[in-house]
Amino acid sequence: MYHKSIRHEFAVQFEIPATYPHANPEIVLPELEGKTEKMYRGAKICLTAHFMPLWRANVVKFGICHALALGLGPWMASVLPGMIDEGKC
C-alpha cells in the first residue's frame, strides 16, 4: 500500500474454511494484530458486513483474488491511512 508517497508492506495470510467456496476465505494480517478495532482476534480483518453478502451472491464465480480486491482492498483503504497517520504501523 502507498500512503503519502510512502510504501507500506504487510504480510498477508489466508485461512480457507472447510466449506470453501460457499464460505469466503479469512484474510489475516499478522503484523497488525491488536492495532485496530476493525480486526478480529487472530489478526483477521472484518469482512462480515460488506464482503460476505457479495461473496454469497457470487459464490460460483468468486475466488481468492476477489477476496483481495473486494475485501482486503477497501478495508486497507479505509483503515490503514488513519493507522499510519497515528503511527500505529
Which of 46, 64, 68, 83 is the catalytic position? 46
Contact predicate 15/67, CB 8 Å: no
Look up 89 and say whether it is catalytic: no
Query: Residue 64: how many CA atoms within 13 Å on its side-chain side?
Result: 10
Q: How many CB atoms lie within 10 A of CB 69?
A: 11
Contact predicate 15/28, CB 8 Å: yes
All three cell numbers of 88: 500505529
Q: Active-site positions? A: 46
